[in-house]
Amino acid sequence: MIHKLTQLPNIGEQHAARLIRHLGHGSEARAIEAVKVSPYSMTTVPRIGFKIADGVARYLGVHPDSPGRHEAGNRFILGEDGTLPTTEFDEQRRKLDLACHALRRQGVVEESGRVWLPEVLRAEEEFAAWVAELPLGHPDGLTARAAADTEGFDLDSILTTETAPLAHLDEHQGFAAGYAVYGAAHVMAITGGGGTGKTAVIGGIVGLCQQAGKLVAVAAFAGKAADRVRETLAKAKVSATYAGTIHRLLNYTGYEFRTGTLPHDVVILEEASMIPTMLLWEVVKRLKPGARLILVGDDGQLPPVGYGQPYKDLLALGVPSVHLSVNYRSQNVQGIINAANAVRQGRMLQTFTDDSFSVRVATDLSEPGNAALEGMRGVPQDEWQLITWKNDDAVAFNLAIQEALNPDGFPLFSFRVFGQDRAYAEVREGDKVMVKANDPDLGIFNGQLGTALTTLVVQKDITRLPDTLEDWAEAEADGLIHNRHEELCVRVKIGDELVDIPEKDAPALLTLGYAITVHKAQGSDWEHVLIYQPGAIAFDAQRWWYTSITRAKTKCTVLYEVKVKDPASALNLWWANTRRTMELGPSIFVGRVRKLLHERQQRPPDTRSAAEIGKEWLGL
């Protein structure tokens, strides 16, 4: 008989508390019953993986070749994305000791060289059908000549009105903003590199919507990008109905999106190149009839971390788009812009326009690296960032930077590190930290950056539903059992918010954040970016370097540490690496849409009358 969750194998007090909260809704008895009925439901609880759930299931008598075990393992492997290449999926099955060949696709679907959750494949097919209904076939984008193809949109009158929301934009930017609100196409893309005024155009769109009484939402994948949008709107003295992250727009709980139909007339998605396919579909299927969707981004950046690259796919399919090419960054940062454009275009520059961008290439760059970090002493943490390629290098840099900039900070908690000269590291008071796992209960999400402030005792009130009559006798007026207690927490400042993270959970949720990989940096920017890269980038190097460089606003310092035989040609080694591209191959999603379009073209026209069609639909 199991009376306590901690009687189960590998379930400690922290796991038990999470199981009670998520499976038992505050009741341990209910959590125990849920685990008995479906032990693999434990994998839906934060930081409880398949191996722990599998150990409990085996303890409770579940057979290794149970279909339920294999389906749970398959679903766990596919995770939030819901799809993986077949070879990668099968390798993950081997790692989880899911050996039964007959059950290798239990509860999942194999299609187009990938394994899918059935609901994710259905969603992709529905998304493709939706895209196939759009006005496609504009590979070169829209021009001012398309202005006639609008719904009452007079570009000239809007641009020449001094008080108009578009007065601060150039003609091309003004056209983009005007077409977004009044153009005939209700779905469009706005593309452009850094400094071309994409966020200024967003401000223009919001201003037009505000003037016309339209509800407008502006959402970004990353919190830092959402902050930047809010700053732009405030500077332009316009306000959106909603401005924040996509996940908050859709009321994401960590497990599901709870928002129904969005009330907005116009939905703008910033940094659209970062959005994976399924997240974009979650937005699209919530658009109200007639709503406009505006995708704003830079298609030269790295693809999303999750499955798919819908922004790039929609551009390839010819969704109506406007490309911004004129750079409006101040003259003293043209070095960054010129270097980024040269990388994107596969060109080489021997000199840079100004000192906003610099590159050092040598076999050992530890000395200039230390000097660069020393220059960050006293600079606010949110104004600079080190970016590197591999996670192991980021960990090593974090430890070194901590010793250089915060050697005497008071230790707050320790956490495991791997591949370093020690087994444990610590987060100290004043350290820059990064959230490394989602915790919707605390309102924190993977990739957020902040500052560790202190530890303090916080009053907590954990509630649960009554189970027994004795519980009901102790229940308060709200019908709940309250467990009021004090808990030691680590206080972290993330943006403008103070978050108190239980000290026992901090090692699983936080790590040092002085150095991060570029995927964590996407959607954010800093005044000074230091790119310290030991060794060549082997995977999609051109887009990696372009994305990294464009994170810098006023200064970008590149330290490229590779074996150099001839110092005179050292810079050429860096340029050679930036020209290394990766062909991603044909897009499954593009193929899916084009197949639908072809099938529709081949379908003979329906010559029946409306009455005949109606009778068939009614089964008469």
Please tell me the predicted confidence (pLDDT) of residue 128. 96
**Residue 292 in tokens:** 């406009």
What is the average pLDDT score of the chain? Answer: 89
Q: How confident is the model at residue 367 (pLDDT cuts 50, 70, 90)?
A: very high
Neighbours of 149 (CB within 10 A): 14
Whole-angstrom Cα distance, residue 348 to residue 188? 33
User: What are the DSSP calls for 475-533, one per residue?
Assistant: --TTS-EEEEEEEEEEEEEETTEEEEEETTTHHHHEEE-SEEEHHHHTT--EEEEEEEE
Whole-angstrom Cα distance, residue 56 to residue 151? 61
**In this model, does residue 582 exceed pLDDT 50?**
yes
* Element containing residue 11 per DSSP (H, E): none
Arithmetic mean of pLDDT, 205-217: 94
**In this model, does residue 411 exceed pLDDT 90?**
yes
Please tell me the predicted confidence (pLDDT) of residue 148. 45
**pLDDT single digits (tens) 28-50:** 888 999 999 999 999 988 889 99
pTM over 0.75: yes
Please tell me the predicted confidence (pLDDT) of residue 151. 57
Bigger pLDDT: 560 vs 255 = 560
Bigger pLDDT: 25 vs 584 = 25
Provide the pairing of β-strand 187-192 with 321-324: parallel
**pLDDT single digits (tens) 416-459:** 999 888 999 999 999 999 999 888 778 888 889 999 999 999 98
Q: How confident is the model at residue 288 (pLDDT cuts 50, 70, 90)?
A: very high
Please tell me the predicted confidence (pLDDT) of residue 144. 47
Arithmetic mean of pLDDT, 402-423: 94
Contacts of 478 (CB under 8 A, 6+ apart): none
Please tell me the predicted confidence (pLDDT) of residue 152. 57
Please tell me the predicted confidence (pLDDT) of residue 465. 75
Arithmetic mean of pLDDT, 137-142: 71
Whole-angstrom Cα distance, residue 589 to residue 518? 25
Please tell me the predicted confidence (pLDDT) of residue 613. 61
Given CA atoms 153, 156, 161, 162 in this order, what sign does their dihedral have? positive
Please tell me the predicted confidence (pLDDT) of residue 157. 65
Bigger pLDDT: 461 vs 267 = 267
Q: Which of 351, 286, 362, 15 is nearest to 130 (CA)?
A: 286
Whole-angstrom Cα distance, residue 317 to residue 5? 53
Contacts of 298 (CB under 8 A, 6+ apart): 191, 192, 193, 194, 198, 273, 550
**pLDDT single digits (tens) 83-109:** 999 999 999 999 999 999 999 999 999
**pLDDT single digits (tens) 527-564:** 999 999 999 999 899 999 999 999 999 999 999 999 99
Whole-angstrom Cα distance, residue 409 to residue 431? 8
**pLDDT single digits (tens) 332-348:** 888 999 999 999 999 99
Q: How confident is the model at residue 227 (pLDDT cuts 50, 70, 90)?
A: confident
Whole-angstrom Cα distance, residue 545 to residue 523? 15
Arithmetic mean of pLDDT, 580-595: 87
> What φ, ψ does residue 493 adopt, rounded to 5°?
-95, 115
**In this model, does residue 376 exceed pLDDT 80?**
yes
**In this model, does residue 147 exceed pLDDT 50?**
no
**pLDDT single digits (tens) 260-276:** 999 999 999 999 999 99
Q: How confident is the model at residue 145 (pLDDT cuts 50, 70, 90)?
A: very low
